Amino acid sequence: MSSGTNNPYGGSYGNQMSGTMSFGAQPAAASRPAGGFVKDTTTAAFTKDVLEESRHQPVLVDFWAPWCGPCKQLAPALEKVVNEGQGRVKLVKLNIDDHPSIPGQLGIQSIPAVIAFVNGRPVDGFMGAVPESQIRQFIDKIGGPAGADQAAELEAALEEAQGLFDTGDLDGAAQLFAAVLQADPENARAAAGMMECLLALGEVARVSQMLASLPPELSSQAPIQAVALKLGQIEEARKLGDPVALEHELSLHPDHHEARVKLAKIRNVEGKRDEAAEHLLLIMRKDRTFDDDGARRQLLQFFEAWGPKDPATIAARRRMSSILFS
């Protein structure tokens, strides 16, 4: 899969933004012959076209006749929905005038009649020229909701990308996040993951630009908000001074809590989360009144940016509780 004009994140990760994965079990529609999901069958071909094929995917059989007005009304809507499904189900059409034995065996007494076959057996059906919405509901029932397979694959790709990010493989993580964004440009987890990769590479300005360009319905989601919070912490830390000077100040004046908070913020953006938490926990143990319990409030902001499952969050939250309830 290559990044295209519909990918709002194109170019955000140097020249590495082109994903190489495709999602969904079916090939793209452009690679399929026209009418690949709809075909006519005969009595002789029914076993192959319907019974055998239904062992691989659901097959709908449309029993119709040229003289049937409702059949002509149903057929365009039925074929449209099947083709839009891109292979969730196939449609096989049988002219009962030319091939009466199969509908006779199945007890078809009125047409149009649509029967769904799964694993070689009829499992459900409907009769009459039903509206398009009802056809969609029927196919969702037989073939599963549209996009269900793709959603599962995207979720698996996101988990793999996060695992790569956690182990320091920023290039691999970015490739996967980019591939998910190509398939689903409004995926908040993928967008946040992409920006996390950029932050890890020091591309703060690009992340700021990306955040500013996101639509409100996306930027308001929790993963994006966490990135925005982290970006704010990074930008703030840049203004807090030299960490070496702050450490020297604390060696001379260990109770200089303002300097310790600044150093904690710097260590946080450096990725030294345990050290950042330790500075704030030390202030909490010594003086809860400092900055109106500001060390605790700052630590809670760290937790929000790190996420509840981060080992640093879990460890620091446990130690904070022991201070608060001792």
Contact assessment for residue 291 and residue 257, using Cβ atoms and an 8 Å cutoff: yes
Residues noted as catalytic: 68, 71
Radius of gyration (C-alpha) of the chain in whole angstroms? 30
Contact assessment for residue 99 and residue 40, using Cβ atoms and an 8 Å cutoff: no
Amino acid identity of residue 5, one-letter, is T
Alpha-carbon distance 62 to 93, whole Å? 5
Q: Look up tokens 């932050």; give the residue.
A: 199
- Run of H or E residues at 95: strand 90-95
Contact assessment for residue 155 and residue 187, using Cβ atoms and an 8 Å cutoff: no
Q: Look up tokens 């076993």; give the residue.
A: 47
Amino acid identity of residue 323, one-letter, is I
Cα 81 off chain centre by: 25
